[in-house]
Amino acid sequence: MRAQHRSLEFLARLGYAARGAVYLIIGALALTAALSRGGEATGSRGALIALLTQPLGYLLLAVVGLGLFGFGVWRVTQSLLDADGHGAGARALVERAVQAVSAVVHFGLALFAASILLGLRRAAGDDEQAAIDWTRLLLAQPFGRWLVGLAGLAVIGAAIGMATKAWTLAFMRRLSCDPEVALWVRPLGRLGYAARALVFLILGSFLITAAYHADPNEAHGLGGSLLAVRDQPFGPWIFGIAALGLVAFGAFGFVEARYRQIHPDAALRRVGRAAAQRGTG
């Protein structure tokens, strides 16, 4: 059992590092575009593709893909087993539902990485097309415009949650680091979460626009949302700050990989106690 706990902790820490690597690439590419007014911003899939241009690119993609899979496993543990001890209150259930959605997203990214490695998918970033395709699929369902609108509101809700973490420094509660380390981790995490909040706010706004016009082409991925902002008044400044913040969030992912409190054994004990109580009840 202890070996299983260590394996899960390893996957979780590798997952935080993998997510950090993805955001570092997204932020770095966006920052380059912001400074040169050229190039292209991209999303998570484009970041995975970008790994292939590096030395040992396929090996890097394999490691990051494994990490994203591990992060999905950890998110499932957080959501279903309440690994962070949120409880079963209304606010806790919302947090755990968000973790479940995150698990699906990261499993999907891991599958995307595996499909490239196996030669099942061409090496081309298609974040924008994926956003359009998913929006089109939802719009084709009964009450499709309402579904897309609710998805947009959910993304905006997630943005508000991230902004709250940035403002309150709530992300520090799950870290076990010395005060000297915390001095630079706080501003790093705050900038990172604020940037993610801005990006998710834009993503959600585009989804609501797509729902209002019943037009899937109004939806955008992360990169497309940033580029759309760049074309607005003061957009280049906002774009550059957001890009820098995404780099900060990527670096913060490696901080979490090192200092994040991960206690899968506590979650399994809670499950065991609950099962025992049901058995004796």
| Domain layout of the chain by residue ranges | 2-280
What is the rounded distance in angstroms from the CA atom of residue 33 to the CA atom of residue 26? 11
What is the rounded distance in angstroms from the CA atom of residue 179 to the CA atom of residue 176? 10
What is the rounded distance in angstroms from the CA atom of residue 226 to the CA atom of residue 34? 10
pLDDT at 121 over 70: no
- What's the token pair of residue 243? 């890009």
Q: Decide: 94 and 44 in contact? Cβ < 8 Å.
A: no
pTM: 0.88
In the three-class reduction of DSSP (H, G, I as helix; E, B as strand; rest coil), residue 260 is classed as strand
- Give the count of alpha carbons within 13 A of 186, CB side only: 11
pLDDT at 72: 94
pLDDT at 125: 53
What is the rounded distance in angstroms from the CA atom of residue 174 to the CA atom of residue 11? 17
Residue pLDDT, tens place only, 145-199: 999 999 999 999 999 999 999 999 999 999 999 999 999 999 999 999 999 999 9
Question: How many of the other CB atoms lie within 10 Å of CB of 181?
Answer: 14
Please provide the distance, in angstroms rounded to a whole number, between the alpha carbons at the two ends of the chain: 26
Per-residue pLDDT, averaged over 105-122, amounts to 86
Token pair 């820098």: residue: 244
Residue pLDDT, tens place only, 40-88: 678 888 889 888 888 888 999 999 999 999 999 999 998 888 888 777 7
